[in-house]
A and B are shown apart, each in its own frame.
Chain A
């Protein structure tokens, strides 16, 4: 009974596309055979090298005798080439699996006496019923190579000793070291002091910057929304401007404005007979400056958001409260604030997670400075994320940077996933039909 099904399955398992050819789908079968031929040739040429590479990370360092590229092993190139080969292998195996399943399914159709689609009909079928998967495969390839592959690569780096001065190719080889990098980061005094210091400031920064911009935005929104304030649209437009200017520009400008020697802010203070403040050069004041400038950039967003929420609060709630004799402050505390907090809670969590990773603000404004002597390559205002940048690009401590990156990722991902799972668009997305 299931003669065709079994045969097609076995044939497809032996050689990709054979089952399809048996099923008289010649074009599809030929394409699959061709794909297998190309892939297998590639694997014969590369797979052994890839497995050797991923295990050893190279055995033959560059010396005076073998200066030409190709004569010595470059651990990092070996790692990335091996990774590409292995990823391709995974893609190949997935396609192989789909191929077998397809041959089996069509064999069954034939057993039941149904007509088999020709190539044109198959394409048509995919466009009608497998549209989403076909559509998604194009961006998926881009994401696989430019996002997933680099992430796997960097996670792997965290388990090697790829770092200056002793383990930077091509002069030296890189080796697997297991969890040593993480151990050093969390337990070795010189690193852990910096790590916990920077982590503490990152969290303080994320809390303060989120809270200040949120409540700042709330105050401004309430101020504009008061009864009797005229030209509401005008005030709103003016106060949105800081948000609309690209941060690259506004932060570089702020860096000039807060400059201790030449900056206009200190010059104006001097003009009024006040001494200037060491805005960007003193560890404490640099932190204050970062928070202030962040308020300048961030308050408009919260303001817009909260103004939007304010318009959705039903008027009759206030009217009922007025009948009961509530004062303005009571109305705010019992109606306005809970409504706003309830609606904006997900945004608040998202902003908090975003601030942990707020690279631009720190890098463009202070560059992480002022430098702290007892820190490993970090300054007083460095967040984990900017420290990671310095470790990578300035110090070539790639393994340490990767470990820091993994930790940042774990922190942010847990917040964001928790947040996303709670949102309406996830739970009730099929409500809109």
Chain B
């Protein structure tokens, strides 16, 4: 009996040691960037993780620099994110509601087309979109980014939203239909209120997209004052590699912290939403 106890004790101790090592590995880069942003000087490396003196100068620097228009970029990204979110989520809801609730000819094919198109390497079509936007005189505008992000949303997100709508019992809409509700009415007053979790999920994904996309934004936005944060950060690493690491770190913290918090919040919502049945609530 005691041998078993000892073995159990050893098992738990090694498990805890492994977990501690993994946890350090998981959060070390995050801590390093946070402390890096608070460290005086510009250097990438310091012997200790904790700086000897804390400073906010890099955060001030971001907003008072002539070459780094961080505040401007932040506002640009915010604008693009809000509008692409509103438009993209609306489009996604329309498509997913239609394919989840209605049976019409070619529906299975429509679903397969959505799936297949969604897998095409995005920037293969970039050149064509670039030329299209050039024809429409939309290059170097935020409207172009908003249109493209929003138009792409249904491809990536419809199947996810459809999966959610499928779990809302049909009996609810049928009851409403008997009471004489129109399709629009059913969508607005039954489906939407029950879809809060998936709505939040779609909205956040569509909001975060512009914050982290730099490939397309870099192609479309030519003038520096129109850039989004992602393009600016990418440029900081490319242009002056490592020469001003602490400023980069401060910029990274300002993007990463809100998104990370949103993301952790979103996961709880999603899990809650997907596990609780609609009939109950």
Contacts and interface: CB of A to CB of B under 8 A. Distances in A.
Interface of A: 76-77, 80-81, 127-128, 131-133, 135-136, 138-139, 142-143, 145-151, 153-154, 157, 220, 223-224, 226, 228-229, 235, 237-250, 252-257, 259, 262-264, 267, 271, 296, 300, 304, 353, 357, 359, 363, 385, 388-389, 392-393, 398, 401-402, 405, 408-409, 412-413, 416-417, 420, 425-426, 429, 432-433
A77 B116 contact: no
A241 B19 contact: no
Contacts of B45: 262-264, 267
Instruction: Give 9 nearest A-B pairs by CB, closest first.
Output: A150-B125, A132-B102, A150-B128, A142-B151, A405-B124, A153-B128, A146-B151, A132-B98, A244-B263
B25 interface: yes
Contact of B25 (A259, A296, A409): A296
Interface stretch (B58-66, B68-76, B189-197, B207-215): B207-215
Given A149-B128, A405-B124, A249 B33 contact: yes
Contacts of A80: 128, 131-132, 135
Contacts of B22: 220, 239
Nearest to B23: A238
A401 B26 contact: no
A267 B242 CA distance: 15
A26 B98 CA distance: 30
B281 interface: no
A240 B11 CA distance: 24
Given A127-B182, A249-B233, A259-B242, A229 B44 contact: no
B139 to A, nearest CB: 14
Given A146-B148, A146-B152, A409-B121, A139 B91 contact: yes
B127 A392 contact: yes
B250 to A, nearest CB: 12
Nearest to B150: A142
B119 A246 contact: no
B30 A147 contact: no
Contacts of A133: 98, 104
B279 to A, nearest CB: 11
A271 B126 contact: no
Nearest to A79: B131
B247 interface: no
Interface string B18-34: 11001101110110110
Contact of B12 (A81, A132, A229, A264): A229
A80 B248 CA distance: 40
B95 A420 contact: no
A128 to B, nearest CB: 7
B147 interface: yes
Given A264-B32, A393-B219, 9 more contacts: A80-B135, A135-B97, A136-B95, A149-B128, A153-B128, A253-B29, A253-B252, A433-B169, A433-B171
Contacts of A243: 263
A265 B27 CA distance: 15
B212 A247 contact: yes
Given A150-B129, A246-B211, A417-B115, A388 B170 contact: no
Contacts of B117: 143, 147-148, 151
A157 B148 CA distance: 21
B44 A259 contact: yes
B19 A248 contact: no
A338 to B, nearest CB: 24
B121 A385 contact: yes
A432 B182 contact: no
* Interface secondary structure of B, over-half rule: helix
A263 B97 CA distance: 50
B260 interface: yes
A264 B97 contact: no
A261 to B, nearest CB: 9
B128 A257 contact: no
Q: Indicate the size class of the contact surface on chain B.
A: 35 or more
Given A238-B27, A249-B252, A147 B151 contact: yes
B44 A389 contact: no
Given A127-B182, A128-B182, A253-B33, A150 B259 contact: no
11 contacts: A80-B132, A131-B98, A132-B102, A136-B110, A226-B15, A239-B26, A253-B249, A256-B237, A296-B26, A296-B29, A401-B124
Nearest to A76: B131
Given A147-B125, A252-B252, A425-B163, A127 B264 contact: no
Contacts of B150: 142
B119 A147 contact: no
Contacts of B12: 226, 228-229
B44 to A, nearest CB: 5
A432 B147 contact: no
Contacts of A237: 264
Contacts of B107: 132
Contacts of A153: 125, 127-128
B151 A249 contact: no
A251 B242 CA distance: 14
A132 B171 contact: no
Contacts of B104: 132-133
Nearest to B133: A146
A432 B101 contact: no
Contacts of B97: 135
A417 B112 contact: yes
